[in-house]
Amino acid sequence: MPLASLVCDFDAALASRSRGYASMSHGRADWRRSAVVRMDVLVAGEPVDGLASVAHTSEVAPRARAIALKLREALPRQLFKVAVQVAVGGRVIASEHIAALSKNVLAKCYGGDITRKKKLLKKQQVGKKRMQAHGRVVVPQAAYLAVLQRQD
Gap between the terminal Cα atoms of the chain: 16
Residue 102's CB is within 10 A of a number of other CB atoms, namely 10
In one-letter notation, the amino acid at residue 49 is D
Beta bridge partners of residue 43, listed in sequence order: 46, 84
Residue 51 phi/psi, 5-degree rounding, is -105, 0
Confidence class for position 1, pLDDT limits 50, 70, 90? very low
Domain spans in the chain, listed from the N-terminal domain onward: 3-23+36-148
Class of 3-23+36-148 in CATH: alpha beta
| Strand 36-43 with 46-47, pairing | antiparallel
Instruction: Give the best-scoring range by mean pLDDT among 3-7, 105-109, 126-130.
Output: 126-130
Q: What is the largest CA-CA distance in the chain?
A: 79
Residue 88 phi/psi, 5-degree rounding, is -125, 115
Beta bridge partners of residue 94, listed in sequence order: 86
Whole-model pTM above 0.75?
Answer: no
pLDDT tens per residue across span 85-97? 999 998 999 999 9
User: What is the C-alpha separation between 143 and 50, in angstroms, rounded?
Assistant: 11
